[in-house]
Amino acid sequence: MGLLDLMRLMPTNCQRDQQRRRRQAKAQARDGSIASRLKRKGSPCQLDDYSQGADLEIHSGPSLPEDMWHHIHSLMPMRDAARVACVSRSFLHSWRCHPNLSFSKNTLGLNKNAFQEDKSARVFYIKVDHILRKHLGVVKKLKIQIDSDYSAKDSCYLNNWLQTAVTPGIEELTLILIPHDAKYTFPCSILSNGSGDTIQHLHLGNCSFHPTVTFGGLRSLTRLHLCHVCITGDELGFLLSHSPALERLELKCCNKIVRLKVPHLLQRLSYLEVTGCTKLKFIDNEAPNVSSFAFGGENTVHLSLGETSQIKSLSMNRPGSVFYARAELPSSMPNLEALTIYSQEEMAHAPMLRSKFIHLRHLSMVLTGALLYPIYDYLSLASFLDAAPSLETFDLDLWQRDMENASVFADPADLRQMRELQHHNLRSLRITGFSSVKSLVELTCNILESITSLERLTLESTQSVLRCSDRGNKSGKCFPLDSDILMEGYRGVLAIRRYIEPRVPSTVKLQVLEPCSCHAAVL
């Protein structure tokens, strides 16, 4: 909510005399003109050049203490706070003490159409340098995102900015260098001598980070997020061993880590995510209260997760995830409530076993890749339904190609039935990328005929891609699809109409999402 919106919510003072109301109207007209000029300039943060003589008089509500207006100002997004300060001397001081600073091309209004790439980068550094030099208060949240090409000569800028902003009182620090080949080394020294003691959230991207045995630690840190960060397992261990308050640990594409050891002292750690670390061989978790674990990677990793009975939410992305989940997880993680599986390679069908997921309520599978075709039997996934009597939602997302030979139209013989399949809690089934593959039609028919608790069935005949009706789709068109995928989408719709729709009970709401008409236009 902006400042003017907050002002409108306040009661009108009816006892103001007519002369003050006329003076207020003149002041608002003048300030509106200044704000309009500033908006056209597209530079909301170059404050000192435009704030002279622009003092906004506030008469639309009761008088408030200055510190309360400063608090309201501190709650505004950075660009809005800067614009208000541009037209009001009253807010210029509070802007220079603004606790939340976010620097990127977007927040600084550096339009790519208005600036060449080299000029945009130069203006970015000048503006950030200007704002931080003028800043007077304690920065609680600092985010720096550099989108342009980074070079070693820029290190002095970054070091100076961090030295200025990272002081006792800072709570969140985010530094993201978009170029993946950036050579910046984060200066661990700025976190020493108490400067990092108040940091609760640290997010680093595309840089090097080398804490050593002398590292003082981050005793208030609750969330650590490292993405494409050059750090070894030992260096990470030094950091973790001095961060006793940690609750979330997220490591993505940190390719120097071979062995990850999570120490027992992290009693508060509840969420652990490790994905895309190509050299990782071992994960040894000793933290006793991890309840959510997300893992993904192509390489074989030995997992030692400690007290696995605590884990209630699991996300896995590795070859053979479906088979592994059905064969191993019921016994190793008996209290799972939510399971998400990603797999690009399944060489064996899901086995029918006696083991159960007693507490599993939400199951999501994303199966992609040519190695799933043509041998994979989707009907075998009914094994998960048999094993999870408490399951309420089942989402199946498929991305495959060249499925015509496995189509139900190529082999229209009788569909297989699983008479032993019974379930009393499944409410929702969604299949994205529904095709005419016979085993997929069989799975859907068996669920319809065996599970009386089903309330909603959603079948989308194209893969999970951006559609023209989706929020955030600025182009207004569907994501382009190759002709073979699009044709299989139409065959999937035909299979739904012929084999699925007649079996849908009146108590089940069926939603069929067909290929959009604008798909053909982008081929």
Which residue is listed with tokens 């309840």?
A: 291
- Which of residues 69 and 416 earns the better pLDDT score? 416
Instruction: Give the tens place of pLDDT for each residue, 364-409.
Output: 999 987 555 557 889 999 999 999 999 999 999 998 665 655 889 9
| Residue 99 · residue 141 · CB < 8 Å | yes
Grade residue 178 by pLDDT with cuts at 50, 70 and 90: confident
Amino acid letter for position 401: R
Write the pLDDT tens digit of every residue in 469-508: 666 666 667 777 777 778 888 899 999 999 999 999 999 9
Lowest mean pLDDT among 125-129, 320-324, 357-361: 125-129
**522 confidence band (pLDDT: 50, 70, 90):** very low
Chain segment 430-457, per-residue pLDDT in tens: 999 999 999 999 999 999 998 999 999 9
Of 4-8, 144-148, 255-259, the range with the lowest mean pLDDT is: 4-8
* pLDDT value of position 521: 44
Separation of alpha carbons 473 and 88, rounded Å: 37
Give the model's pLDDT for residue 333.
Answer: 94
- Residue 464 pLDDT > 50, yes or no? yes
pLDDT for 485? 77
pLDDT band at 515 (very low <50, low <70, confident <90, very high): confident
In DSSP notation, 166-220 reads -STT--EEEEEESSTT---B--GGGGTTTTTTT--EEEEEEEE----TT----TT
**Most confident region among 18-22, 183-187, 247-251 by mean pLDDT:** 247-251
| pLDDT surpassing 70 at residue 227 | yes
Give, as one character, the DSSP assignment of residue 501: G
- pLDDT tens digits for range 90-127: 666 666 677 888 888 888 877 665 556 667 778 888 88
Q: Quote the percentage of the chain above a pLDDT of 90.
A: 45
Per-residue model confidence (pLDDT) at position 99: 83
* Pairing, β 172-177 against β 201-208: parallel
Pairwise CA distance, residues 378 & 506, whole Å: 25
Structural domain spans, the chain: 315-466+477-522
Query: How far, in Å, CA of 517 to CA of 322, rounded?
Result: 34
Question: In this predicted model, which residue has the larger pLDDT, 22 or 464?
Answer: 464
Name the residue type at position 168.
P
Res 34: pLDDT: 36
What is the C-alpha to C-alpha distance for residues 143 and 108, in angstroms, rounded to an integer?
12
User: Using CA atoms, how far apart are residues 286 and 267, in angstroms rounded to an integer?
Assistant: 9
**Which of 413, 401, 408, 373 lies closest to 489 in space, CA to CA?**
401
pLDDT higher for 457 or 416? Answer: 457
CA distance 222 to 135: 27
